[in-house]
Structure 1
Amino acid sequence: MSEEYDLTDEDLFDELLEEDDIFDELDEAELQELERPAKRLKTSPTADTPNSAHIALAERLLSEKFGYSSFRHEQAGAIQKTLAGENALVIFPTGAGKSLCYQIPAIAFPELDKTEGTRDSRNGGVTIVVSPLIALMKDQVDSLRKRGIAADSIDSTKSWDDVQMMYASLAKSELRILYCAPERLNNEGFIASMKDIPGGIRLVAVDEAHCISEWGHSFRPDYLKVARFVDEIKAERVVCLTATATPRVAEDICKAFSIKEDAVFKTSPYRPNLELSAKSIGTKTDDVFPQHVLQLMFPELSPHETVHRNDERFEELFKFLRANPGPTLVYVALQKQAEICADALTQKGFSAAAFHAGMKTEVKTQIQNDFMASKIQIVCATIAFGMGIDKADIRNVIHWDMANTVEEYSQQIGRAGRDGKTSRCLFMLTASSSYTRELFARGDLPSRESTRGLVREILLQGKGLSVGDVFKISQYSQTRDFDIRQSPLSIIYASLELHFGLVRAITPEYSAYKFEAMPAFHPIMKEDKTPAAQAILKNATKKVKFYAIDVNAAAGGSGYARLSRMDIVGKLNQLNAMGVIKLQTTGIEHRYQILKPLPTTIAEIDAVVDKLYVDMQNRERDALERGREVMELMTGQKCFARGLAEHFGMGLPDGKEKCSHCTFCRTGKRVISPPTPVAMTTAASIQAVLKATNVRDDPRFLARVAFGIKSPRVTQLKLDKHNVFRSLAHHSFVALLREFTKVCDMAQAS
Structure 2
Amino acid sequence: MSDNEYDDDVFDDLELDGDDVFDDIAENELVALERPTKRHKPETLGAENELALGDGDSHLTLAERILSNQFGYKSFRHEQAAAIRQILKGDNVLVIFPTGAGKSLCYQIPAIAFPELDLAEGTREPTKAGVTIVVSPLIALMKDQVDALKKRGIPAESIDSSKKWEELQVIYDALARSQLRILYCAPERLNNEGFVETVKRIPGGIRLLAVDEAHCVSEWGHSFRPDYLKVARFVSEIKAERVICLTATATPKVAEDICKAFSIKPACVFRTTPYRPNLELQAKTVCKEYDHDVGVSLDIMLGFHVKWERDKRFEELFKFLRANPGPTLIYVAMQQQCEIHAKVLAAQGFKAAPFHAGLKTEVKQQVQDDFMSERVDIVCATIAFGMGIDKPNIRNVVHWDLSNTVEEYSQQIGRAGRDGNPSKCMFYLAPSAFYLREVFARGDLPSRTSLGGLVFDISDQALGVSVGGVFKTNHYRQQKDFDIRPSPLSVIYATLELHFGFFRATTPEYSAYKYEPMPSYFRLVKQDKSPAVDAIYKKSKKKVKWYDIDINEAIAYKGAGLNRADIVAKLNQLDQQGHIKLQASGLTNRYILQKALPKTDEDREKVVEKLYKDLTGREKDALQRCREVMGLITGPKCFALSLAQHFGMDLPDGKGKCGHCSFCLTGKPVEPPKLKVTPTTASSIQKVLKATDVRDDPRFLARVAYGIRSPRVTALKLDKSPVFRSMAGHDFEALLAEFTKVCEKKSEE
How does the TM-score come out when normalised to structure 2? 0.93
Residue 28 of structure 1 deviates from its aligned partner by 6.8
Q: Is 1:334 aligned to residue 339 of structure 2?
A: no
State the alpha-carbon separation in 1 of the partners of residues 56 and 542 from structure 2.
Answer: 60
Show the 5 A alignment for 1:85-124: 85-124=90-129
State the alpha-carbon separation in 2 of the partners of residues 283 and 40 from structure 1.
Answer: 66
Secondary structure of the residue that 2:675 maps to in structure 1?
coil
State the alpha-carbon separation in 1 of the partners of residues 28 and 595 from structure 2.
Answer: 26
Aligned to 1:704: 703
Residue 530 of structure 1 deviates from its aligned partner by 1.7
State the alpha-carbon separation in 1 of the partners of residues 351 and 514 from structure 2.
Answer: 49
Is this contact kept in 2: 1:211–1:220, CA < 8 A?
yes
Residue 525 of structure 1 deviates from its aligned partner by 2.0
Show the 5 A alignment for 1:214-613: 214-282=219-287, 310-559=310-559, 561-613=560-612
Show the 5 A alignment for 1:658-697: 658-697=657-696
State the alpha-carbon separation in 1 of the partners of residues 296 and 266 from structure 2.
Answer: 58
Is this contact kept in 2: 1:706–1:726, CA < 8 A?
yes
State the alpha-carbon separation in 2 of the partners of residues 665 and 293 from structure 1.
Answer: 36
Note closer, same or farther for the CA distance 1:33–1:519 as it changes in structure 2 (3 Å cut): closer
Note closer, same or farther for the CA distance 1:209–1:362 as it changes in structure 2 (3 Å cut): same
Residue 156 of structure 2 aligns to which amino acid in structure 1?
A: A
Secondary structure of the residue that 1:587 maps to in structure 2?
strand
Is this contact kept in 1: 2:32–2:201, CA < 8 A?
no
Note closer, same or farther for the CA distance 1:38–1:257 as it changes in structure 2 (3 Å cut): farther
Is this contact kept in 2: 1:33–1:506, CA < 8 A?
no
Is this contact kept in 2: 1:32–1:185, CA < 8 A?
no
Is this contact kept in 2: 1:41–1:236, CA < 8 A?
no
Aligned to 1:737: 736
State the alpha-carbon separation in 1 of the partners of residues 43 and 435 from structure 2.
Answer: 54
Q: 1:59 aligns with which of 55, 64, 71?
A: 64
Is this contact kept in 2: 1:284–1:310, CA < 8 A?
no
Residue 434 of structure 1 deviates from its aligned partner by 1.4
Aligned to 2:48: none
Note closer, same or farther for the CA distance 1:10–1:66 as it changes in structure 2 (3 Å cut): farther
State the alpha-carbon separation in 2 of the partners of residues 113 and 9 from structure 1.
Answer: 52
Residue 307 of structure 1 deviates from its aligned partner by 7.0
Pairs aligned (count):
729
Aligned to 1:18: none
Aligned to 1:82: 87
Aligned to 1:213: 218
Note closer, same or farther for the CA distance 1:84–1:29 as it changes in structure 2 (3 Å cut): farther
Q: Which runs of 5+ in 2 are unaligned?
A: 46-51
Residue 359 of structure 1 deviates from its aligned partner by 1.8
Q: What's the C-alpha RMSD, in Å, of the aligned pairs?
A: 2.8
Q: Is 1:640 aligned to residue 645 of structure 2?
A: no
Is this contact kept in 1: 2:95–2:103, CA < 8 A?
yes
Residue 627 of structure 2 aligns to which amino acid in structure 1?
A: R
Identity %: 65
Aligned to 2:202: 197
Is this contact kept in 1: 2:67–2:75, CA < 8 A?
yes
Aligned to 2:144: 139
State the alpha-carbon separation in 1 of the partners of residues 466 and 36 from structure 2.
Answer: 25
Is this contact kept in 2: 1:210–1:216, CA < 8 A?
yes
Residue 536 of structure 1 deviates from its aligned partner by 1.5
State the alpha-carbon separation in 1 of the partners of residues 40 and 498 from structure 2.
Answer: 30
Is this contact kept in 2: 1:31–1:509, CA < 8 A?
no
Note closer, same or farther for the CA distance 1:143–1:285 as it changes in structure 2 (3 Å cut): farther
State the alpha-carbon separation in 1 of the partners of residues 230 and 585 from structure 2.
Answer: 23
State the alpha-carbon separation in 2 of the partners of residues 463 and 592 from structure 1.
Answer: 13
Aligned to 2:26: 27
Q: Deviations over 1:642-701 (max 9, x none)?
A: 100110111111111110000111111011112112111111111111111111111111
State the alpha-carbon separation in 1 of the partners of residues 661 and 522 from structure 2.
Answer: 71
Is this contact kept in 1: 2:15–2:382, CA < 8 A?
no
Note closer, same or farther for the CA distance 1:578–1:430 as it changes in structure 2 (3 Å cut): same
Is this contact kept in 2: 1:30–1:183, CA < 8 A?
no
Is this contact kept in 2: 1:355–1:379, CA < 8 A?
yes
Secondary structure of the residue that 1:401 maps to in structure 2?
coil
Greater Cα shift, 309-318 or 79-88? 309-318
State the alpha-carbon separation in 1 of the partners of residues 8 and 105 from structure 2.
Answer: 27
Q: Deviations over 1:383-421 (max 9, x none)?
A: 111111111111000111111100000011011011111
Q: Which runs of 5+ in 1 are unaligned?
A: 16-20
Note closer, same or farther for the CA distance 1:408–1:444 as it changes in structure 2 (3 Å cut): same
How does the TM-score come out when normalised to structure 1? 0.93
Secondary structure of the residue that 2:316 maps to in structure 1?
helix
Q: Deviations over 1:593-638 (max 9, x none)?
A: 2222221000011111111111101111110110000000000011
Is this contact kept in 1: 2:28–2:582, CA < 8 A?
no
Residue 409 of structure 1 aligns to which amino acid in structure 2?
A: Y
State the alpha-carbon separation in 1 of the partners of residues 27 and 43 from structure 2.
Answer: 32
Secondary structure of the residue that 1:95 maps to in structure 2?
coil
Residue 48 of structure 1 deviates from its aligned partner by 11
Residue 469 of structure 1 deviates from its aligned partner by 2.6
Runs of 4+ in 1 over 4 A off after TM superposition: 6-15, 28-34, 36-41, 43-50, 283-286, 292-298, 306-309
Residue 519 of structure 1 deviates from its aligned partner by 2.3
